[in-house]
Every structure is written in C-alpha cells, then in structure tokens.
Structure 1
C-alpha cells in the first residue's frame, strides 16, 4: 500500500493511480552517479537506468577548426569578422565566424533497463497506487487483484553506491528479472544458487559519430561491434538478486519461482576519470569494482539499506521546508492536481511541491565526485537525446545550479565547480587559438570532455554557434558560492578559473568609436534581429548581455580583490586590478529604448526577428546578476518589466522559470503568480523529437517540459520560489548586507512558512507569515555580521552573532 497519509505530507509526495506510460510519466531517482526512471508496471515493470559518466566520445585532441581553415588563421578570420561588423556587413560577418566552427559536443547516453515480469499479474487494478516520497527519495507502487497483493520500492542509495529494488508479495509468485540495453551488452556473466543470483555485463559507449546530428546508432538499428577498449567509455553493470524463491539463472535473465520477496541490487562502474584522462577499457577491473560494491551492499538487509539511504538523503532534504496554504483535496493524484489548479488556481501548495521537487532532483542528480547536471539531469532514455542532453552554457547549465545555494544544498554544486576546472583547462587553448587571448573561453555547448570550441560544421547559424561568454557566465556561480558560504577554501580553488575568465574578457574587449569598451563580433544568445534588408541577422557589436556579463564578472573580481585566499595571498594582484578598473570605467551600462524597453543590442534599436523569444539574456543584470533592482536602478527596473511584458506570457518551460526569477527581483507579485501558473501547466507527452518554443510547463511527473523534456526549468522554478520569499543580494553604501523578507509574495500565498533558506553573507532564514504579512523571522549567521533587515519599506539594523538565532517580529 502507499505511505500512510498521516506520515506523508501531500507537499512532499507525488502520487498516481496508474503506471507510467510515457518515459516522462515515470518517476526519477538517483544518487548522483546512478539515475533511474521508475515506471511502476504490474505485469511488466521497467526501471530505466543511467550512469552519469556514460557519454559518447573520449578525451579529445585539439580539433581542426572550421571549413578549410588553416592552423593559426583563426585570429585573422576573427579580425575580418570584426571589420565586417564595423562596416555593417552582417552576412559577411556571419559567414566568417562560421568558419571557426569545429564540431559538436558529445551526447549523454542511457545505460541499461531492468525489467521485472510477472506473467500472472493484471495489467490494471482498481486499487493501484504509485508514488515518490521526496523526503525519503523512495519510489514505489502497489496493487491487489483481490487475491494477491504486491508492494515494490525502488531507490538509488548513495551510501551503498547501488540501485535497490525490493518487492514483497502476499502469495508465492513466479517472476523473471532481466537486464537489457539499446547498446550492445558483451562479456555477459551469470551465476546462481537456489535462493540468489549474480549477473554482470560490460557496455561500451559509441565513439565520435560521423553524423553531427546522430551521436548514436539510428533507432532500431542492430547493435554493432563495440568500440575497441579505451576508444569509448566502458561501463560494467553488476546485479545481485536475493529471494526466498527458487532461482534459475540464465545469461538472458533470472527466473524466480514461488517467491514472496525479492531484492535486487544493481551497481555500475565506468572507466571515465575526468575530461582529460584516458580511458583504460579494462572490463575485468571494472566488473570487479562493480561487483565489490554489490558484495558490500549485499551484506546488509534491505531494511538497513533503506534506513541508511533515507538518513543520507534527509540530512540534505530536511534542511529546507516550505508550507503554503490552500492545499488539494486529500488523496488527489498529482496530475489531477495540475489539472485542477489550471482550472481554479486554488492549489497554492502545488508550488510548494514543485519547489521541493527541484531540491529533491538536485540531491538525486548532483553529489560530490559526480559530473554536473546536464540538460536532462542524469536521466535519459535515448541514444540520440534532444540537444544531445549536453551542457548548454548560455543559460541551461547555469540554471541547473541556481537553487543549490539559496536552498541550502551547497555541497551539491561541487560537481559544477570541479568540472569548471576541466572546462577552463580546455578553454585556455581555445582562447589562444581563436582569439589570441589569455585566460579561457567556452562557447554554446560542452560535454563530459569539456568541449569549448564554437559548435557546428561550418554552416550552422551564428546566433547559437558563436557566443564566447559561456565561461564568463559560469564563473558567476563560483563567486556566488563564496558569497553564500564564506568558504575561502572554495574561493582559493576557484580563483584560477575566475581570474582566467576575467583575463579573457579584458583581452577581447575592443574600443568603440566613442571611446567606450565593447565586444565584436557579438551575439545575444540564440536571438536574431532584422537587418536593413529585412532578413534575420545575429552578429553585431556590443550586445547588452555581453556588456552586462563582462561588467558583472569584473565587478566581482574587484570586490573580492583583497580576500585572503591563503598564506596572505590576495585574490587578485594589482596589475590585473588596474586593467579591471580601467575596463569598468569604460564599460557602458544598459540602455533604454524609445519604447521603454531595455535594448538587447546596445548600439542600435534593432527590430527583433522573434519579439517573444525565449531567451532574455539582456536582462542578466536583473537576474542572475544583481545590478538592476527597483531601488538601485528604478528606471532600468521599469524598463526590464516592460521588456518582460513585451515577451508575453507564453514560453518554454525553462524560460518561464527564468522569468519567475526576474519577476521576483523586480518585485512584481502579479507577474510572478502568472509565471508560476504557466509553469505548473500540464503538458501531454508527444514524443522526444517534438520541440516547441512556446507553451511549456510540466509533465505528469512534474519534470519540466520545454517541450521536450529539459530539467533546468525544475531547478529554475525552485530558485525562483526562494527569490520570492527572501533576497540578500543588495549591499548598502556602508557595506552592510540587506536581507529583504517577503520581497515579492504572490497573491495566492497569503499564508505560509519556510525554514532553512540561505542568503548571501552565509545567513540562514526562517519565515512565517499570515494574511500576506510577516509574523516572525529568524536569522542565523555562520559568522558575526551586521545586516539591514527589510520588511516592506521598513528597515532595521541587526547585529548577528555566529550560530545564535536572531528572531524578528515586525
């Protein structure tokens, strides 16, 4: 049976009355390394499994760039493109930057499927239930046909390093357990005793594809011979089965007869050791390592495994909890709640569930030592996933980590911080070879191998292939990590990455005719303008997003300049700071157009090819930047609101989440409510190849629909909810941080409480409010500090002592 209602708040449980049909209906579990989608079938159940290190490709040598581009000529081509921009020749500028393209990122791959077949089970039962407990990170389903009752639980244990499936049956049942894959399984082994079995196989990921649009085999194609050991990622899969039934083991599956319980453990181990480390391809070693994980896990009972897993998960999950009034009818399925809220708008606690879900997915998908979350987190069933399920660094990878700091999961951003070191190492060569610049650069896409070059085959549109500010944007998270945690050790580790991105900016800024600094050639991520001939164009000079990101990074370097990163070493040296100060004095700010909006292209009011475009990169200064808000820059804040209004109310799922964060910073509660309601709109699955740039929302599982599935919106939504409740990005002229409580409370959230949110300055905040007004707030700082606490327009200075809660009652 499902968890008792008394033990499980509806705000932390997803529940359904049918098994998953589409993959996006299934429920995600993970331990950072292993991810799985749990379908909850009766006659046949599927658990689709990923390993975060299973990508196509391998460590790369430096590529040959562009179409017929000779080595060493890239800076010359770039200079010619800059001259074309200055001459107003947009088509020539775009043709020139296309010559710098040098291939594509690699694709994240599925690993295996675990199937449990019960030939005697009904396909549908009246009392079927399926659920995911976010507070326990356990998925389950149960059913009864009046004679036999079945209950199954599935979780991915971080302590055990294994996937755990446990099934309990009222009457003895015959089952078949098997593992399959769209990749070829080879070196399959199986062994068994009357009540137990082991099974193992090796899987090798494809190498670089010759078809830029197809990183894996064509759908339905027969499996080919695996790559040679070391040519692609090799992954070992090991399975252990324990039961009270009678076991017959075959390489094609494990037959279990007359069982009343069954526990399956599955572990994986690959030879991926980092973006710049070779692949050894030693299958025997990997199988031994995966089997050792299972041997250790198998020494513990299921109950012990479950208790250790739940304790590990709750140590992170329970730090933050949000309660909102206006809950659903008891027992209502999650997809029914989505439909009901769309019709009535009365289920405020649905937003609290989606908020908790984003935190849950962060814990499940990103743990120290793993790779960072990609476009689909760590969950993907397709050999050819949308957008390769890669790292898209012009918003999406960054958005994946927006809630990690504000919702008290700072440990979970370690994979991003560590991967950025690999990205910077690769990006130094790209900066030197293309731009003749110091520091490092990253463009539109990357992958497990830290791809940093302009994406494409020499003919792809410049609006997304040429954008050298990926590293500039990503480094904001490193600065944020220090601001939220005060961890000088992490800042010391991040220092080369941050300063490298700053050096690239300083080396590539160009002097404009009016003496200011700008960027050229430049694009505004994925957006286009109309040229004088009425055709779309993307390459120009000084896009607003470039200028805002450059100013944001250099301001961060200047602010951190004197921080001691160890042994009396300051964060930045004087020669670099002199360049930073000169650049900051010459970088222009955002410009307001005649129609009251913020200009996306800084030098001219260019007409937009897509007025309702999903990207709003020119609002970077609002969020995730901190330079524009209604107090510090009221005119720009008003222009930003006008810009959002012109973008419209419809967009992709992740864009709606971004707009929620922007509305929160601009203190627009009605606009925030509209973004929340649009995001929590049920989207029916229509197939993985269907791409929509309008009408996003969530699937039945609450996973974000671009559509298709793209997980960044889940994280962006959670971050946006936190921004609605507390903000701490402002610093007054005397250096005191301002903590703004309930800065943008949506109208439907009149009553509620939250505990454990974090703000910059290493401060934890608990809040309770009623009828839209704050009742109490408690601030607890990690170190002694002075803050200005703002409630509405009232401000009061408070001196916080490290570790001692300070309670405020307006």
Structure 2
C-alpha cells in the first residue's frame, strides 16, 4: 500500500508534457486566453494567479484576497432615529412614496457610501487587483512571425496545477503554475526541451499606486499603498518575484529582469498586505526565503497533498462521456445543443465550484467576495465587496454539503468584526439594541444603510448571514463553535426584537421601514415604491433567527429571560408565508403588483431555501405557492439568480426543473457588461457571468447540484430527492455531508438507491429516506 502511495506521489511530480484529454476533472483549451474571462483561476485561499498562456507574451494576473482600498469610517446619521416615528406613521397611512422620500433624506448613510458601486476612491473602498507579472518571450524572430503548434493549456482540479505547452521552431515549451497550499507562494516553472532555449523578460506592475524596483539579489519588488478614500494612503502591500535558473543568465535593468539562454526557470511570487499583519514586509521576505530553500518538486508535492486533503473528500460519478475529449470551450457549445449527452460536465462544474471554494478562502482570513479572490481591475464591479442580500450567503451555501465546512469559519470572523460597528448603526437609525448590517459590507466593518432607500434600507443582511453561521453548527454539532457564534446571533436577534412594530390590520410584529431586496411594487394609486412594512423575507428571517437563538440559549444554558421574550414574540410574528389571491407566496404584507414580475431577486422564498420554513412535507400549501411564484418569475436572469432558482426547485423535489436551470447556467457567454436581467451563463473558463463575472453563480450552482442529490433540512436525510431523468441511469457519490455531522456514500441505478452507508464520529440512529421510504438506520462509526 505504501509503495502504491509513493508511486502516485511520483506521478504527480512528473512534468506536464502529455496532456490528458480524458481526465473528467480538467479544464483544457487549444489556444491562449484572448480575454481575462478565458484565463485559468488558481488560488490558495489568500493569493490568486490567473495565467493567460500567451506564446509571445504572457500576463499573469495576481491577487491577494486582503487587498482593499478605503479605510474604516463612520457613515452613520446619528439623528436618523428621530425620523423613525414619522416614517412609520406614513407607512401605516399607506403613504409609502412619502415615506421613501423621508428615508432617502434622513435614513441613508452619510457621505458617498459605497460610491454607488464605484468605491475605489471613497472611504468604503474596493477589492482590487494586486498586479500583473508580464513575461515577454524572444524566440529569435519578430513576434509577428512566430508560429506555434501543438498548443494546449489546462487546469487539473485534482491537483490545483495548471499548465501550458506548445512548440515553436521545433522546440517544446512547457509552463506549470500553482498557488502553493503549503508554502504560501505562487510558483511558475518554465522549461524547454532544448538546452538554452528560454529567453524572456519579466516586469511587475499594476494600474496605479505602485513602485517597482530591482533589489540587490535581482528580485523584482513592487510596493505601495492604496487610496484610503480620505486623500491619503491606506492599505500597504508588497510583492516580490524571485527566479531560479537552470543554465543561462539572469540580468536586470530598467525595472526589468532578463533571462537569457536558460533551459529551466522557476519563478516564485510572495506577497502580503498590512491587513492583520503590521510586519507584513518581513513576513513576505521570510515566506519567500523558506520557499527558495526547498526544491520545486518538494513544494509542488506538498501543495498537492495539502490541497487534496480538502478536495479528495468528495467524489461524484454520473457515468462516463466522450465529450471530455473536446476542449472545454467547445464542450460548452456542444452541451448547449445536447446537454443530456454530457452529464460529466455537470459533475465537472460541481467539482469546479468546490475547487473555487478551496482556492478562494481559508480559516483566519476572509470569505470569498463577489469575485472570490480573482479580479483584474482597480475598480472591480460593485466594488468586489460583500453584498448581504444573497451574494455572500450564496458564496458559502455549498460548503457544508460539499464537505468543506471549515471554510465557513471566515464568515464568523468577518461578522464578529462587524458587531461593534453594527451596534452603533442600530442605535443611530432605530434606537435599538443589538446590531444590524444592511446590504453591503467591506473589510472595514461597514454596517450603515446604502446610499439609496430603494436597496440600501433592507434589514435582512445581518440576520441572513446568521443563517450561514447556524448551518455550520447544524452540520458540525460543535458546541464550542456554537458558543463562539452565540454573541453574534444573539445580538442580531436583540436588534429585531427591539425594533419590531405592530401592523394594526393583522396585529403582527414586523420590521418598519424595510424593503424586499432591490424590488419595487405598485401602490393602489399606481405609484411605485420600494419602502414598506414587514416584507416577507424579513418575517421569515426573524422567525428563523429567534428559533435558532432560543435553541442556542437552551443548549448553552444562557439568557433565560431573552429566551422567554423571543418565545413570546414568535407567536406574534407573521407566518412563514402568506398565499396571495393569485396563488403565489406574497412578497409583501399586501398583495401588491410588481412592475417587474420576472425580477432577479426571489427573496420571499427565503423560507424555502436556505431556511426550512417551507417544505413539501410540512407546508404543502406554501410549497405549491412557491412553485407558482417561480413559474411567474421565470427561469432566466443573472447567473446567481438562475442558481438560486435551481436551489428552490431542488427543495421542491423537481429534479427536471432544477436540471434545466443548471443547464441554463452552463450556457457560454463572453458578455461583460453589467446586467440585471436575463442572460447569465459561464465564461470559457467556467467562471459564472452575471455578467460581468460574479462568483456567486458558481457557488449557487454547486450548492444546487448537492441539493439535488442530498437534503437533510426537514428532520431526516433524503437521498436523490431531486434527481432528473438524465442522471437516473446510474451514479455514485462518496463524501457528501448531511446535517448532524453525517457523511454519505451511496450508489444508484435507474433512479433507485442500490447501496448506501451513513458515517459519523459515533454510531447514532438517524432517519433516512431511500427510494421514497423513510427508515431509521444506525450510522457507522468513522
């Protein structure tokens, strides 16, 4: 057995000279990337690398998930709460438009806020590209005359290693890239099969606010500080590039390194910021020195082993396909025409989502932002920030079922940092206890409303994030973790508890003022408004949160008085949903008509997913109303919206509809214009297109895939709850997770489970629904 493991390790270290065209977990192409959306994303949870595989020039886009412009600010309007009685009075009188005007006047943030999504140069800030490592190659001819052949580039999801290979003038050139999971450096290895055939220059830059120098040891060093939004310098960064040559010569001049007549060159990149590390410059130098003291093959082997500790936990098979012999871009085109002939592309997309999660976050750092950690601009779309009205939550939805639960932990740290800021915001706007965050946040702890009532006054953000925290508890049963998150979820519940107000027509306790995220409605007189009392999503979030805090306080033996208060309030909350006269789940307290019935947000089905307030078993009437809601909303939208609808249909046990939406998300596009309507899809590199690139579509579809195979939210584990006919012939799953800390392995044929096992740390009895029959089984001890 040890011999086999040793051989496998050696195989992993072989140069990537023969590209597999049958590896089911590989993205591969026969041309260099023409645009950034075709480059291959590599990351180790902190540093990112996107090589384009160019022949005469190659741009390697560099990222650091902590690199943000801006700075901490206080954008609270501390007199806002004095307007609250008048706003509530107007809403009670049905004067929503007037109420919205008052919210826009007194109940938004002070100053420019997020810069309306262009926050790079205001205090809110923006997630930014770290820089570009530019390689320019000399093949002995003018660049325009260069002809290459046998070109291939790929990304192997099983090893998190990418490579490029081609032939020029009879010489085969190979480049290999990885973002080290063991030594925290980016590595690029360039080789030629002819001695001395590598000749190129290297430069390091970024669009602004940088200085590049060459150190005494011939390292490229780039450093600077981003805009703090106050007219000064904010976050500092440092990036160092160092090379090791076999044969040839390294020379420098004019901020450029030149490699001449080398056979092999290894490029190492170390980088860091002063985010949580005031000695970051020393850290960068030490990290690079440690990496340079090791052999490349040792670094690569350690990288693969550490990466696979996470990635190899789950395997899924839906049969085989001949389509993986096509380059990935051609395969996407073929899938659009005949999707049911390539189930393995759905598996690849699922595992790619897991790969992106592993690559874009790690414990102790930050959750993946709107772009994961991959950005190529100073002003990333929507600031590349954390949107709290579905996006950050969706980024984390696949983690538990996909057996990557520890990657949920950075959200806990982000929220813990937000709490003191959110307490100020709760007092300033609502004179309320606890803490609140509205629609957007950043690494600086922003919790204030946005700069417009239409979207910025939503109340759901902080409560919605508490759902993600709770999910990790449900899947882990970790009471130590529960004690850590308890002050966060308690503070959120205290906010809602102290600001709820009575809606006199129903007697229900509701939020006021609020909005249903980014959506609007017609008033009886034909005017359009956003601001309202008690949108359905708020009601569902408050109900779920109160129940979770009650359970946590009982488990931990804390806060009996608060527990009693919340139990009393629960009886006065609206139900999980109200069926409107036309049979849909009502989005607002009243059956308003919408200006845009196919609106991208479907927030009022929060109770269906990620919550478990609406299920076909326990609330069949609401489940049917949810179906009608989705029918009216339609199946198109930005990629994240399509993915959310996939999840809803999976929860409704409709595998065909869920699979239709998965197919829709896999339609190819190169569009990069900001889109709020139909047209979502994926780029040739499988990153999801809103457009532009937004990683939540990847993560939402990954969660949806898992939800089609396993569900455990309704008090039992169900295998194949939403399997489509296209997947039914046969399949196998190993390593998916269920609530309660259970690990699941199972096989099926013709849509029926033929073999299964439930594993857990200790043997426990658990209810499992298999082939339509609910059974009680005893789990096997791991």
Q: Match for residue 214 of structure 1?
A: none
Query: Which whole-Å CA distance do the structure 1 matches of 2:99 and 2:337 have between them?
Result: 49
Residue 630 of structure 1, aligned match among 604, 608, 616: 616
Q: Which residue of 1 aligns with 2:206?
A: 181
* Corresponding residue to 1:539 among 512, 516, 531: 531
How far did residue 431 of structure 1 move? Answer: 0.7
Q: Distance in 2 between matches of 1:508 and 1:729?
A: 29
Give the SS at the match of 1:176. strand
Partner of 1:113: 132
1:778 to 745, 749, 757: 757
Q: Distance in 1 between matches of 2:324 and 2:519?
A: 45
Moved more, 555-564 or 300-309: 555-564
Return the alpha-carbon distance in structure 2 between the equivalents of residues 723 and 336 of structure 1. Answer: 28
Paired residues, number: 744
Which digits, 9 at most, give the CA deviation of each residue in 1:539-578, with x for residues without a partner? 11111111011111111122333213xxxxx2x4211111
Alignment of 1:589-608 (within 5 A): 589=575, 590-602=577-589, 604-608=590-594
CA shift for structure 1 position 5: 6.4
Separation in 2 of the partners of 1:187 and 1:680?
Answer: 41
Correspondence 1:382-461 to 2 at 5 A = 382-456=377-451, 460=452
Deviation at 1:88, TM superposition (A): 1.0
Superposed, 1:246-285 pairs within 5 Å as 246-273=249-276, 285=279
SS in 2 for 1:797: strand
Matches within 5 A, 1:356-367: 356-367=351-362
Distance verdict in 2 for CA 1:124–1:561, change over 3 Å: farther
Gaps of 5+ in 1: 66-70, 210-226, 275-279, 565-569, 732-737, 804-810
Q: Tell me how far apart the structure 2 counterparts of residues 556 and 749 of structure 1 sit (CA, whole Å).
A: 36
Task: Report Cα offsets for 1:570-596 as digits up to 9, x if no partner.
Answer: 2x4211111111111111211111211
Q: How does 1:672-687 map to 2 (within 5 A)?
A: 672-685=658-671, 687=672
Tell me the CA shift for residue 632 of structure 1: 0.8
1:797 maps to: 776
1:400 is displaced (CA, Å) by 0.3
**Are the equivalent residues in 2 in contact too, given 1:427–1:442 (CA < 8 A)?**
yes
2:237–2:272 contact (8 Å) kept in structure 1: yes
1:290-689 to 2 correspondences below 5 Å: 290-345=284-339, 346-456=341-451, 460=452, 462-513=453-504, 514-564=506-556, 570=557, 572-589=558-575, 590-602=577-589, 604-685=590-671, 687=672, 689=673
Give the CA deviation at 1:366.
0.6
Out of 63, 66, 77, the position equivalent to 2:75 is 63
Residue from 200, 204, 219 that aligns with 1:198: 219
The answer on 1:721 being equivalent to 2:698 is: no
Query: Cα deviation per residue 1:384-407 (whole Å; 9 max; x = unaligned)?
Result: 111111000100000000011111
> Take 2:414 and 2:367, find their aligned partners in 1: how far apart are those partners?
7
CA contact (8 A) 1:2 1:131 kept: no
The residue that corresponds to 2:190 in the other structure is 167
Partners of 1:370 and 1:415 within 8 A in 2: yes
Q: What SS is found at the alignment partner of 2:433?
A: coil
**What CA distance in whole angstroms lies between the structure 2 residues aligned with 1:700 and 1:724?**
25
d(CA) in 2 for partners of 1:473, 1:384? 27
In structure 1, the residue matched to 2:726 is 748
Kept in 2, the 8 Å contact 1:20–1:26? The answer is yes
Distance in 2 (alpha carbons) for counterparts of 1:146 and 1:766: 51
Measure how far apart 1:286 and its partner are. 3.7
Partner residue of 1:100 out of 100, 107, 113? 107
User: How far apart are residue 87 of structure 1 and its match?
Assistant: 1.1
Asked if the contact 1:328–1:337 (Cα under 8 Å) also holds between the matched residues in 2, the reply is no
| Superposition RMSD in Å | 1.7
Which of these residues, 706, 723, 733, is aligned with residue 690 of structure 2?
Answer: 706
Q: In the alignment, does 2:86 pair up with 1:80?
A: yes
After superposition, the C-alpha distances for 1:360-386 in whole angstroms (9 at most, x for unaligned) are 001000111221111001111111111
CA shift, 1:329, in A, is 2.9
Q: Report the CA distance between 1:784 and its aligned residue.
A: 3.5
Kept after mapping to 1: 8 A contact 2:66/2:366:
yes
Instruction: Note if contact 1:692-1:708 (Cα within 8 Å) is conserved in structure 2.
Output: no
Separation of aligned partners in 1, 2:91 and 2:486 = 34
- The residue aligned with 1:155 is 178
Q: CA deviation at 1:532?
A: 2.7
Question: How far did 1:746 drift?
Answer: 1.4
Quick check: 87-96 or 148-157, which moved more? 87-96
Q: Is the 8 A contact 1:404 1:412 kept in 2?
A: yes
Q: Residues 237-279 of structure 1: CA distance to partner in whole angstroms, max 9, x if unpaired? A: 11111112201022511001001111011111211129xxxxx
Aligned-residue offset at 1:52: 1.1
Tell me, in whole angstroms, the C-alpha distance in 1 between the residues paired with 2:18 and 2:621.
53
CA 1:64–1:679 in structure 2 vs 1: closer, same or farther (change >3 Å)?
closer
1:142 aligns with 2:120: no
Q: CA deviation at 1:534?
A: 2.4
**2-structure distance, mates of 1:708, 1:729:** 33
Q: Equivalent residue for 2:12?
A: none
1:47-103 per-position Cα deviation (integer Å, ceiling 9, x unaligned): 10111111111222x2353xxxxx4x2111122111111111112111121222222
Q: Decide whether aligned partners of structure 1 residues 492 and 143 sit closer, same or farther in structure 2, where only a CA change above 3 A counts.
A: same
**Deviation (angstroms), 1:183:** 2.0
Within the candidate set 229, 237, 240, 1:238 is matched to 240
CA distance in 2, matches of 1:785, 1:621: 29
CA distance in 2, matches of 1:781, 1:287: 44
| TM-score, normalised via structure 1 length | 0.90
Give the 3 Å change call, closer, same or farther, for CA 52–723 of structure 1 in structure 2: same
Q: Does the residue aligned with 2:355 lie in a helix, a strand or coil?
A: helix
Q: CA deviation at 1:531?
A: 2.1
Deviation at 1:3, TM superposition (A): 6.6
Question: Per the alignment, in what secondary structure is the counterpart of residue 735 of structure 2?
Answer: strand
Query: Aligned with 2:179: secondary structure?
Result: strand
